[in-house]
Amino acid sequence: MNLHEFQGKQILSSYGVRVQRGHVANTAEEAVTVAKQLTEETGTGWHVIKAQIHAGGRGKGGGVKLAKNLDQVSEIAGQIIGMDLITPQTPPTGKRVNKVLIAEDVYYPGDGEISEFYMSVLLNRATGRNMIMYSTEGGMDIEEVAEHTPHLIFTEEIDPSVGLQGFQARKIAFNLGLSGGAFKEMVKFVDSLYNAYVGCDASMFEINPVLKTSDDKIIAVDAKVTLDDNALYRHADYAEMRDESEERPIEVEAKAAGLNYVDLDGTVGCMVNGAGLAMATMDLIKYAGFEPANFLDVGGTADAKRVEIAFRIILKDPNVKAILINIFGGIVRCDRVAQGIVDAYKNMGDEIKVPIIVRLQGTNADLAKQIIDESGMPILSAIEFQEASDRVKEALS
Ligand code: GDP
Ligand code: MN
C-alpha cells in the first residue's frame, strides 16, 4: 500500500525521524489557516505548498511551490488543489490533486551549506536482507544518477539477526561527506529511519531529498512510503491511511469482493484458485505465446457468485481476448465449480464475447468436464495443463 507524503512523514516522525513539518489542507482557505498555525509552531515565515498524489516528480510538474506570504499560500494552494498534475510518474492525463501539504520552508539561508542527499530503505531480494541505499546526489532522479554516475550510489546491507549497527550508520554519514553536528544528526537520522522501516513493516522508504540545512539539521523533506499489505493487519491505524481514489478502480472492486487481482497488460484473462497455481497459469499463457491480462486468485470458495464477480472484473479490461479458468478442486469439488461457471455464464448472457477455456482438475474433474460439455455453452474444457494451453492457442489464432 502506497502512502501520501504527509502520511509517510507522520509515521517517520513517530519513530523520531526529523521531518519537514507541515499540515494538510483541502481548500485554499484551510491552507491559510494551517499556514498560520505552522508559523506559530515552527516560526517559519515561508511555506512550501506540496500536492499530495501517489506519484513522484511533483516539483517538475508544478506541484511543489514556495509561498513567501499568506496571500501566496492562498493563491498557490488554490491553483494546485483541483489541478490534474502531470509528472514523469503519473499517467499522461495526470492525477487529480485533492489535498496539499503546507510545509515549513527548510531551505533557509545561514552560515553552513545546504546539501541534498538521497536515501532509501528496501529489501534486497537477492540476499534476503534489508538495505539502505544512499547518495550524495539528492533532489534529482535516482535513475539518472544510477545511469550516469553509478559510483555515487552506495548501499549498506543489514544483517537481520543484529539489526543496523552503529558503525554502519557512521559509515553512511561519512560517505555523505558530513562532519561535526551534521554527522551526529545523520547517524541518528539513519538509525531512526531504519527502526521506522522495520517497525511499520514497510516494503520501501524513499527519502529524496534528505536535507542538511544551513544550521546542520538533517531533515526528511520528502517521503515515499510503501507498506507491506500482508502486514497491515498488525497496524490498524496505518490501514486506515489507504486512499482508494489513488488506486485502480478495478483493483479496489476486486479487493472489496475478496479477490486477489492485479491488472496486467496482456490479452488472456486468468481466473485461478491459489497464488501458486495462478503464477503457473501465467507461465503457461506465456509458453503458449501470449501475455496474461491479469493475475486473479479467487481463493478457496469458487462458487457461482464469486465466479461471476471475477468474470465481470476480467471483462472490464478491454484488452481481454480470451479467459482461461484454471481451478484445482481440492476442498471445493470441481463439479460445484463447473456448475458455478455455467450458472455465471447463463446469468451474464451475451455480456461474454470472448472464448472461455476451462481447466478443472482434482475431485470430480471428469464430472465437471461433463457438466461443461453438456451445458451447451461455448466453453472449451480441458483436464490436462497442456490441453488448456492448446485450447488458448486455438481460441486466439
Ligand atoms: P517531488 O518532486 O515529488 O520529489 O517532491 P519533493 O518533496 O522532493 O520536492 C521537490 C523539490 O521541492 C525539492 O527537491 C526541493 O528542491 C523543493 N523543496 C521542497 N521543500 C522545500 C522547501 O522547504 N524550501 C524550498 N525552497 N524548496 C523546497
Ligand atoms: Mn522527492
Same domain assignment for residues 165 and 77: no
Whether residue 148 is found in the same domain as residue 179: yes
What is the residue-averaged pLDDT of the chain? 93
What is the average pLDDT across 95-106?
Answer: 97
273 is in an annotated binding site: yes
CA 52 to ligand 2 center in whole angstroms: 12
**Residue 212 shares a structural domain with residue 333:** no
**Domain that includes residue 75, residue range:** 20-105
Is 329 within any annotated ligand binding site? no
Give Cα 213 distance to the centre of its chain.
Answer: 30
Q: Kindly state whether residue 14 falls inside one of the protein's structural domains.
A: no
Domain end, chosen from 217, 245, 273, is at 245
Nearest ligand 1 atom, CA 138: 14
Q: Is 118 a residue of the active site?
A: yes
Helix, strand, coil: what percent of the chain each, to 5? Answer: 40, 25, 35
pLDDT, tens digit (0-9, with 9 covering 90-100), for 1-37: 999 999 999 999 999 999 999 999 999 999 999 999 9
Query: At residue 388, what is the residue type?
Result: A
CATH assignment at residue 145: 3.30.470.20
**Distance from CA of residue 191 to its chain's centroid?**
25
Which residue's C-alpha cell is 555515487?
Answer: 152
CATH number of the domain enclosing 93: 3.30.1490.20
CB within 6 Å of ligand 1 — which residues? 48, 50, 56-59, 64, 66, 105-107, 139, 208-209, 221-222
Is residue 2 in some structural domain? Answer: no
Q: Are residues 296 and 306 in the same domain?
A: yes
Residue 217, annotated as binding a ligand? no
Selected catalytic residue, list 5, 104, 118, 134: 118
**One domain for residues 252 and 363:** yes
What's the pLDDT score for residue 210?
98
Which ligand is nearest to the Cα of residue 61, counting in written order? 1
pLDDT (0 to 100) of residue 248: 83
Choosing from 105, 122, 137, the residue where a domain stops is: 105
Q: Closest residue (by CA) to atom 7 of ligand 1? A: 222
Same domain membership, residue 160 and residue 96:
no
What DSSP designation does 321 have?
Answer: -
pTM of the model: 0.84
Count of structural domains, the chain: 3
Whether residue 206 lies in the annotated active site: yes
Residue-wise DSSP of 38-93: HHHHH--SSEEEEE--S-S-TTTTT-EEEESSHHHHHHHHHHHTT-EE--TTS-TT
Strand 379-382's sheet: what is its strand order? 260-263, 294-297, 268-272, 322-329, 356-362, 379-382
Taking the CA atoms of residue 158, residue 163, residue 167 and residue 169 in that order, the dihedral angle to the nearest 10 degrees is 70
Q: What does the pLDDT look like over 120-166, one tens digit per residue?
A: 999 999 999 999 999 999 988 899 999 999 999 999 999 999 999 99
Predicted confidence band at 348 (pLDDT cuts at 50, 70, 90)?
confident
Q: Which of 122-126, 243-247, 297-301, 378-382 has the highest mean pLDDT?
A: 122-126
From the list 5, 104, 185, 206, the catalytic residue is 206
- Section 275-284 average pLDDT: 92
Which ligand ends up closest to the CA of 137?
1
Q: How far is the CA of 165 from the centre of ligand 2 (A)?
A: 27
Helix (H) or strand (E) holding 224: strand 224-227
pLDDT of residue 42: 96
Boundary residue ending a domain (81, 105, 129): 105
pLDDT above 90 covers a percentage of the chain that reads 71
96 is in an annotated binding site: no
The answer to whether position 43 is within a domain reads: yes
